[in-house]
Structures are given as C-alpha cells and as structure tokens.
C-alpha cells in the first residue's frame, strides 16, 4: 500500500540553490567566459531552467484537495513537467514512457536494438535546428521498414507503419505517476487515510497570493555554494541535459 505523500522542497536542493542565485549572472557572463569553449548557448536552456525554478513554487498555482470523510484540506503545488532536467518531473516522465513501451508499443517477442547515428559533417544542422530530429527519426523508420520488406518479402508487410497512424504518448494522471515513482499516494488523507478529492485548481495571482500570505507559505532557496563552483555546476547540468532540450 502506498504511503502518505509529503510535499517535496526543491528549493532546498543544491541544483535549485545554484540556479536560483547564479543563473542570471551566468547568462550575463556566458559569452565572454564560456562560449569559446562550450559553444553557443541555446535559448531553450534558459527556458528549461526558468520552468524548473517555478517547479513546486506555490506562487505559480496549486490544486486544492479535501478529504470527504474528515474535511482535511491541503494544497498540491504544480510541477514544471520538464524532461531531462528537473529530477522529480523527469523521473515521472521516464516511468510514463516505460509503461507505454511495455503496455502499448512492444510485443511479447524478442527484440533487437538498432542505432542510427548522424555523420559529423551534418551534426551542425541538427544542433541549431532541433525540429530536424523528428524528420530524421521518420526517415530512419522508413529505411528500416524498407530493409525488412526487401529481405523478408511480403511477410514483412505488421512493419508498414503509416505516419498518420502514429500517436502521441498518452499522458497519465499526475497522481498515478507519483504513486508509481515515489510509492506514495498524493490523494491519501494524512489524518484518516481516506481518498481526498480535488476541489479546485487555483491559478489567479490575486487569489494565490492571499492564500500564501494567510498560510504563511515560503519558497526561498537556501544559501548557495561559492560562485566558481556554482558556474561549474550549471555547466555540468546543461551539458548532461542538452540531449533532451528540443
């Protein structure tokens, strides 16, 4: 049985503290200090970091939930749903992807992995135009399907996948993903154990601010590490996550 969900505090982590205190300064100094060695700073990096800094921040809105049995109420903060960067949201996205692969995409038969690579002389085009990656994947799919058709003949026709039949990854409920990843239930009442219900999603800034002030909620990053170490932390995080930025 899943345990009771306890609100997480991303603002207390080293990654959040580094980005909160130093990212603006990092952006201002990047061209002069880092661009020659690490290359052009893609705009998507700034967008992803800003979304991550809002993850779990009560001022960005929250869901209000109530227990129908005992009347207990609590607030659940919105997440950024950023893949490849936010540790919490990325874990949920991985679980969601894995479940879709197991239950929808893959048949119960042996599988073989095929890896397609991009020639070095062409990688520059994909580096600055990430939309090309989608077309590249479709070309790889058609090439592989054509190869099996030639080798196996008509027996390889369950491989002719029409592009119009491709579907987006179905989104699972946020509560279900939290249960799977963290083995806790965000809708379990901490007082009586009953299932709580969502009664409202609050996003209006005026309403949100009044509730935050009334409940005295805080979301403040703790003291950061020294600047030089902080810059290295940011560069490592950006490099490790760049394959996900699209």
Residue 43, pLDDT above cutoff 80: yes
Q: What is the pLDDT of residue 240?
A: 57
Phi, psi of 184 (to 5 degrees): -135, 155
- Specify the higher pLDDT residue, 20 or 98: 20
Token digits of residue 207: 């309403």
Q: What is the pLDDT of residue 141?
A: 84
* CB atoms closer than 10 angstroms to residue 235: 15
From CA 231, how far away is CA 192, in angstroms rounded? 46
Q: Is the pLDDT of residue 209 over 60?
A: yes
pLDDT at 246 over 90: no
Looking at residues 25-42, what average pLDDT do you find? Answer: 85
Distance CA 177, CA 171 (A): 10
**What b/e readout covers 158-176, taking b as 16+ CB neighbours within 10 angstroms?**
eeeeeeeeeeeeeeeebbe
Share of the chain above pLDDT 70, in %: 78
Distance from the first to the final alpha carbon of the chain? 37
Two tokens, residue 206: 């005026």
Mean pLDDT (the chain, rounded): 79
Task: Give pLDDT tens digits for 159-200.
Answer: 454 444 445 544 556 677 777 766 778 888 888 889 899 899
Residue 181's Cβ-count burial label (10 Å; 0-12, 13-18, 19+) is middle
Confidence of residue 232 (pLDDT cuts 50, 70, 90): low
Quickly state the pLDDT bin for 153 (edges 50, 70, 90). low
Most confident range, picked from 134-138, 163-167, 220-224: 134-138
Confidence at 68, pLDDT banded by 50, 70, 90: very high
């Amino acid at each position: 049985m899943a345990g009771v969900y306890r609100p997480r505090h991303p603002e207390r982590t080293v990654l959040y503290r580094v980005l909160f205190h130093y990212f603006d300064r990092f952006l201002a100094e990047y061209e002069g200090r880092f661009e020659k060695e690490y290359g052009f700073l893609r705009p998507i990096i700034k967008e992803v970091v800003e979304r991550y800094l809002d993850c779990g921040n009560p001022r960005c809105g929250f869901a209000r939930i109530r227990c129908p049995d005992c009347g207990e109420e609590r607030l659940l903060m919105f997440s950024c749903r950023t893949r490849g960067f936010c540790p919490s949201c990325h874990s949920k996205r991985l679980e969601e992807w894995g479940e879709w692969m197991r239950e929808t995409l893959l048949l119960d038969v042996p599988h073989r992995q095929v890896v397609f690579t991009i020639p070095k002389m062409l990688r520059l085009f994909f580096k600055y135009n990430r939309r090309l990656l989608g077309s590249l994947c479709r070309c790889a799919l058609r090439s592989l399907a054509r190869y099996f058709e030639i080798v196996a003949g008509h027996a390889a026709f369950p491989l002719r996948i029409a592009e119009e039949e491709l579907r987006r990854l179905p989104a699972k409920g946020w509560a279900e993903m939290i249960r799977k990843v963290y083995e806790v239930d965000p809708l379990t009442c901490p007082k009586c154990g009953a299932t709580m219900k969502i009664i409202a999603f609050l996003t209006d800034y005026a309403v949100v601010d009044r509730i935050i002030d009334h409940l005295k909620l805080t979301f403040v990053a703790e003291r950061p590490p020294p600047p030089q170490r902080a810059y290295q932390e940011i560069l490592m995080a950006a490099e490790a996550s760049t394959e996900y930025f699209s």
